[in-house]
Amino acid sequence: MLTLHAMAGVIVLEGHYQGKNLFVQNPFSEAGVGFCVFEVTVNDKISTDEINSSAFEIDLGNYELKIGDAIVVKIKHKDGCTPLVLNPEVLKPKSTFDVISQSIGPDGTYTWTTTNETGELPFIVEQKRWNKWVKAGEVMGIGTPGEHTYQFKVTPHSGENTFRVRQVDLTKRSRFSESIKYTDPTVAPVTWSPEKPKDAITFSAKTLYEVYDQYGNIVKRGYNSTIDVSDLKKDLYYLNYDNKMGETFVKR
């Protein structure tokens, strides 16, 4: 028996398998005969789940999916009604990684190996600098179980450095690795001048820097061997650079 569905719609959910099923609230069709949803596919395979009820479960365990596998669910429905997916977040990646080893080589290459990843999320590489964590860069996570090794070339300041990796998922909570220390003996302490600049501050080497006004507002930041201060008004400012913080200069 052939059933036709005129002017049908489709809800598409994309994500990665996290080991949990989807639940759908399924209203009656606009005509009042039968339910709204008439077909569900998972990665283009037609679902055999019972969908002729006011609520049903899409059992994602039927498709030989591994944790972290890409998944596309299509819920086809009649016109004039709209089913509601109650828990679409189960297809969103979660941060579950564990770091089983990490090291920083003599050339500044930060290497870490993870296990227990369940979703593609970036690893944010952070450096402790000026009493806070500063983003140094990011590396995309593979997002599947098993061991994965990542690398990132860090830019150390003089003296002892502290690094870590962090992920943030849909819960907005951060998951961190343990921190790791690193010292590059070839990186000399940075100096700067003049203390009363008119146009520019010059560093002895390229460095990350931040400039704050007296009210704590950041007015300059970057990575360079000079700072153009010609556009700052005449006043007292605070300077963070290298591994130093809170030094002052007066713009003239």
Model confidence at 226: pLDDT above 90:
yes
Kindly indicate the confidence band of residue 160, based on its pLDDT and cuts at 50, 70 and 90.
Answer: very high
Kindly indicate the confidence band of residue 1, based on its pLDDT and cuts at 50, 70 and 90.
Answer: very low
Model confidence at 2: pLDDT above 60:
no
Q: Is the C-alpha dihedral spanning 77, 82, 83, 89 positive or negative? A: positive
**Average pLDDT of span 65-92:** 93
Model confidence at 166: pLDDT above 90:
yes
- Rounded (10°) CA dihedral 120, 95, 180, 246: 100
Q: Per-residue pLDDT tens for 17-46?
A: 989 999 999 999 988 889 999 999 999 999
Q: Supply the pTM of this predicted model.
A: 0.79
Model confidence at 130: pLDDT above 80:
yes
How many other CB atoms are there within 10 angstroms of residue 93's CB atom?
Answer: 19
pLDDT, position 3:
36
SS (H, E, C) the chain: CCCCCCCCEEEEEEEECCCCCEEEECCECCCCCCECEEEEEECCEECCCCCCCCEEEECHHHHCCCCCCEEEEEEEECCCCCCEECCHHHHCCCCCCEEEEEEECCCCEEEEEEECCCCCCEEEEEEEECCEEEEEEEEECCCCCCCEEEEEECCCCCCEEEEEEEEECCCCCEEECCCEEEECCCCCCCCEECCCCCCEEEEEEEEEEEEECCCCCEEEEEEEEEEECCCCCCCEEEEEECCEEEEEEECC
Model confidence at 92: pLDDT above 80:
yes
**Average pLDDT of span 167-173:** 90
